[in-house]
Structure formats: C-alpha cells, structure tokens
Structure 1
C-alpha cells in the first residue's frame, strides 16, 4: 500500500467515525508561528495557560522523534440552542459559550483520535503516534491552517468553509510520511467586524490577541476581576462568543451532527442565584461534564455575582448579604460587596457598613469601599 492509498483509507475511516473534516500537514517547524509567539511573549499577551516552551509549540519532532506528518481533525458543534430558557425578572440567567455546550470537547476529540490511532496502527503496526487536543504543546490553529482545515481568521479562530468557526480541533503527529494537503488562503479580506465588536479590545489587530483582555480568558481567572472588565462581562458565566457571532462566515452556520455536543439548556443557561450557594457535589453533578467546569466553581460563582449586577437584580440582595457575611473566600465576599453597591438599594449602605466593621481581609475591604463610593454617586 502506498502512502497516498493509506491517506485515502484514513480519510474514509475518519468519515465513518464522525470526524467532520480531516487534513494532513508536514512536520516542518512552524517558523511564522514562532515569530508570533515570541512577539506575544514580549508584549505580555499570553494567558499563562499555554505551553511555556516555545520550541515545543513549533517543533513537532521535539514531541515525536522522526515525525513525518501531522493529521488534523475538526468536529463541528452547534451554534444555536433548542428550547433555550429566557432570562427574565426573578429568573436571571447566565450563559456558557457555545464551545462549552454538551460533553467536554476534549473527551469527544480524544475518543475520535484514539479510534483513528487504532485504525492506523492496524494498517502500520510500526508507526509511532502522538495525539493532542487543545492542551497539547502544538498550536491547534497553526496545524489546522497548514493542513487545509481552514484559514486563520482575524478573530484568532480557524474558519472553515463548511462550518465557519464553530469547530473543535485536534491533531496527531505520526512517523508515517502521509502526503500533505494545501493550506487554504486567508479570506477575511478587509472585514474587521470581529475587531470592532470585541467588548474589551482584546483583538489588537487581525490575528493578534491580548489574552489578558479576552473575556473568554477572564471568565476562567480565579482572582478579583479588574474593574474595567466587570461592566463588559454581562451575564457570561464561561467564555465569550462575540467575535464568532459577528463573523460573516458564520452566518447561517448551525450543525447538530454529534448528539453528545447538544446542550442541556438548564445547564448552559443556569439561573444565576442557583450558582451562588451550590455545593461542590452539586456543581460536579450538574456542570462536571462541561469543558467550562475545568477551573472549578469559584470563577463561575464570581461571574454569576457580576451577572446579578449586570441585571440589577435587587431580588438577590439577601443572597449577596449572606455571601458577604459567611463565604470563606475573599474573592466571593468582595465581588458580592461590589455588586451590593451596584444594586444601590435602600439597604445597600447599611449592609456594606456592617460588613466593613467585621471584615479583616484588605482586598475585601477595598471592594466594600468601592461599593460605598458608588452609593455616594447614586440616589438610593
């Protein structure tokens, strides 16, 4: 069997197991990516979640000696939710981004890659393979771009002709020299809709992202959210879809090809107040299967508290007061204090003053002071 024939068989098998798109790339070092990563590092635009060693991110042979090709895969996920509950008075809801709907995509893609590995090893038992999804050393986007899965858009996502940006990506490095595919030429043209619409200006220019300003990143942080970003968060609990929603290439794109990717509306649009006192066990049972649960409940609870401020939901005042009195975590107490100030109810000032008398944590006291200062400038 020639390598071209093996490639054809791999493609056919990938379709049979529900891989929506597959491409093949050479293992030459990603030199252009290297320059971009060095620039990102110098500018302080990295999130800290990435592999720190740039050489590993751009050199496939460091990850698999004698690597000869990379197989890139893409799976399309839904962009629209069926039977989505409305966020209304007394029932204010948060939102998980589309990439966190359904079962954790890491699990889904790893299962597909494991099946693909088994098939390839059946054809060539001497082959060496290394697969990765998202958290691996290689850049999913750079591999997918080189393999012809799609082009790298100005919104820093891979844009596929068939599915727009609504795809999960994974890759497999192999010692088999499979014929490479041609990269797709960038097709964003003069469009800057994603850059213009980014709530925090995180897309510095086409294809360059300041991760520390990106709401998708900020929703995953565990510390106090900087004041400048709180107003921008809205009701987002995890992630942000703005740069995808405004992309013209996503117009009309909504694929429901994988049952495990279908969202449970009550899970991905949760009631904000129900998140405030959820136990670790309840959190794991309800949200544990989502990719958005990987950082635990604390960031999501903090975001829910900010979501209450966004909606000016004064019915949550007693819940916030309870958090401010009893929660052991300074970030939660402090964010609750800030939100109490934002709500500006008749009780807000007395609640905050009482809290300030008993509070010992300097950061929480600073948040209480922010709340009190906001009240000075509002009619209560």
Structure 2
C-alpha cells in the first residue's frame, strides 16, 4: 500500500464531499494536554460536560487499539446572518451563538466523517477507524492543532489562517500510519483582546479557560444562575461569541459554504416572550434541529427571562407574573420573581408579596425576597 498516495487521494476526496480543511497527525499520547487537563481538574475549571477519564482524552490507543494516526477535519460556518431581525423596545429578542446556527453540526460532521470512513475502508479493508465529533473522548482542539488545522488561540479556540476560529472540528483515529502534517505556529503574538473582552473573566490566563465562569457554559446549566453572572448574560440564550468577535484573526471572516449551516433568523434570533410559553413538543419542533437545543427548553427559557430583565422590558411583566404563579419548575418561578424585581415596576410588589405567602420552595422564596429587595432599593433612589 502506498500510504503517501492514499493520503493524497483522501485529501482530494475530502474536498469533493465538502470538508473545508483536513490534516493528519500521529496517534501518540497528548502528554502536554494531559498535564494541562490535570491542572484544570485540580483548579476546578472543568465544565462537567467533558469525558471525565483524562487518559481517554489524551491517549488515542485507549480508544482504538493499534492506533497509528489521526485525521482531523474542519468545516467553516457563517459568522454573519442575512436578514437578521431587529430587537426593538416592544419586541425584544435573544440570540443563539454562531455555533448553533443552522442544522446541528454534530450531524453534519458525522455524515462527512462516515463518508470519509467508507472511502478509506474501501481502499484499505483491513484498516480500523473510529470517528468522533465534540462529544467524543478525544480533545478535538488538541488533535486539530497537532494536525496543522490551526493554532490554539488565547481564547482556547482553534484558529485557522483561512477561516479564523469559525470552524467545526471532528477527527478519525485510524490504524493506518499516515505521514503527519506540520503544526501551525502560534500567531496570537502579544494580542490579549479576547482575555480583556471576556465578560466574566473566564480566560484566566493565555490559553486556559475556567469553564465554570464561561458564559457559553453558564447558558447551558439548568439550575439557578449565580447572581454574579445574571446581568452579564445579556440577551444570550445559548453560547457566547465575544472572544471570537474581538479576535483580529476573525476580522472579515464569513463563509457560507454549506447550505445546512445557514441560520433561520427567526429561530436563532427569536422573540423572547413567546419562548416563555412553549410546550416541550413546540420547543422540539421549532428548535430541535439546533445544536443549542441539546439541554432542552428549561435553560433557554431561564436565559430568556434573564434577557427580559436585562432589557428591563415592562411589557413582559404579565408573562413573568404568569410564570411565577403557574409554572411547575422552581428555577423558572424563581428566576421570574428575580426578573420582576429587576424590571422594577411598583405594580409587581404586591404580586411578589402574595407569592411569598404561597410559595413552598425555599430557593424560590429566596428569589422572591431578592426581587422585593431590588424594588425597595429602587424606590429609595
């Protein structure tokens, strides 16, 4: 088998099936990454969504015995939305991050990787392969950097020279010993714009992320959001693009190469108030195709309530009162109570006081009291 020739054929085929960038790396253990992940674990910086076994995240041979190399792929996604609706005082809107525009990228990349698998196995039937996207055990970004897809930015994103950091990543471990590509040298230099712009200080030092403070992570949590972060969420419903938007390497980068990645403006920049009243079925029908729907409707609805509080949208008071009185979920009732206090309309003071008498959940009671304190403070001003 001529492996160099096979590599060339794979590269050509990858372009034919809509893979925007491909790279090849050795399947050696990721020793530096292991040390960094252990440090992350010790500092309590992990999100909890990752594969908990650090050995699996850093040793490809644990995932595929006799692994010899890894093929990394990248697909570019749009950074600008065509026909984006405006958020107005009467009709406030939230926003899903760019990585949740269009069809769920996990499906898109898995399809491309399956096609790549079939191509390789048709050429080398004795080969073994194992593909993964994002939710797999391996660290996508470390693989992509080793394979020369891009360099690891100070915002912890892989930045490609061609597409900036607006790329989805996937990889395939294989028993075929492909010659590795050369990694790209770091091009961030002395720039620290992403670190300075992070709303919560989640980028604690160059190339290290405290996921517990990252808005992208916080928008996906299901419980009450810490008060420290409620105002900083803004109108984000899922994810955060701040550290990408300020990155000089992303300036002017906007690619519309894949129709299935194009956003529906009314879906990814939706009206906030209608979001509050969706049933599970309605949510799944409308938002189920987005990557940002994977945690269900509760985090999205909680974030929508926080966004309405951020805008101090008095037109939302009836909606919030309804949630406070009728919703079965403590997180939604409590967040609605806090939002009513934040909006600061005297008409809700009596409603909050009545809720205080009837509510049984201790966490919700604390949120009602917070709302009343905010109203009291505002009256004094």
TM over 0.5: yes
Q: Say which SS state the counterpart of residue 378 (structure 2) adopts.
A: coil
CA distance in 2, matches of 1:289, 1:126: 36
Q: Residues 40-88 of structure 1, C-alpha deviation per residue, up to 9 Å, x if partnerless?
A: 0000000000000000000000000000000000000000000000000
CA distance in 2, matches of 1:89, 1:246: 27
Residue matched to 2:246? 246
- The Cα of 1:348 is off from its aligned counterpart by 1.7
Task: Describe how 1:8-19 pairs up with structure 2 within 5 A.
Answer: 8-19=8-19
Residue matched to 1:321? 321
Q: Say which SS state the counterpart of residue 355 (structure 1) adopts.
A: helix
Residue 340 in structure 1 maps to residue 328 in structure 2: no
Task: Describe how 1:70-81 pairs up with structure 2 within 5 A.
Answer: 70-81=70-81
Q: Residues 331-376 of structure 1, C-alpha deviation per residue, up to 9 Å, x if partnerless?
A: 0000000000001112121110011010000000000000011111
CA distance in 2, matches of 1:331, 1:207: 33
Task: Describe how 1:177-188 pairs up with structure 2 within 5 A.
Answer: 177-188=177-188
CA distance in 1, matches of 2:143, 2:343: 47
Which runs of 4 or more aligned residues in structure 1 lie more than 6 Å from their structure 2 counterparts after TM superposition? none
CA distance in 1, matches of 2:318, 2:350: 13
- The Cα of 1:5 is off from its aligned counterpart by 0.3
Residue matched to 1:41? 41
Task: Describe how 1:286-325 pairs up with structure 2 within 5 A.
Answer: 286-325=286-325
Residue matched to 2:96? 96
Q: Say which SS state the counterpart of residue 165 (structure 2) adopts.
A: coil
CA distance in 2, matches of 1:109, 1:89: 39
Q: Say which SS state the counterpart of residue 36 (structure 1) adopts.
A: helix
Task: Describe how 1:1-380 pairs up with structure 2 within 5 A.
Answer: 1-379=1-379
CA distance in 1, matches of 2:2, 2:187: 34
TM-score (norm 1): 0.99
In structure 1, stretches of 5+ residues that fail to align are: none
Backbone CA RMSD of aligned residues: 0.6
Q: Residues 155-194 of structure 1, C-alpha deviation per residue, up to 9 Å, x if partnerless?
A: 0000000000000000000000011000111110000000
- For the 8 Å contact 2:346–2:375, the answer to whether it is kept is no
In structure 2, stretches of 5+ residues that fail to align are: none
Q: Say which SS state the counterpart of residue 256 (structure 1) adopts.
A: coil
Q: Say which SS state the counterpart of residue 332 (structure 2) adopts.
A: helix
Q: Say which SS state the counterpart of residue 379 (structure 1) adopts.
A: helix
CA distance in 2, matches of 1:126, 1:352: 68
- The Cα of 1:252 is off from its aligned counterpart by 0.1
Q: Say which SS state the counterpart of residue 156 (structure 1) adopts.
A: coil
CA distance in 2, matches of 1:132, 1:90: 44
CA distance in 2, matches of 1:89, 1:157: 34
- For the 8 Å contact 2:103–2:260, the answer to whether it is kept is yes
CA distance in 1, matches of 2:140, 2:346: 51
CA distance in 1, matches of 2:195, 2:206: 7
- The Cα of 1:379 is off from its aligned counterpart by 2.7
Q: Residues 187-213 of structure 1, C-alpha deviation per residue, up to 9 Å, x if partnerless?
A: 100000000000000000111000000
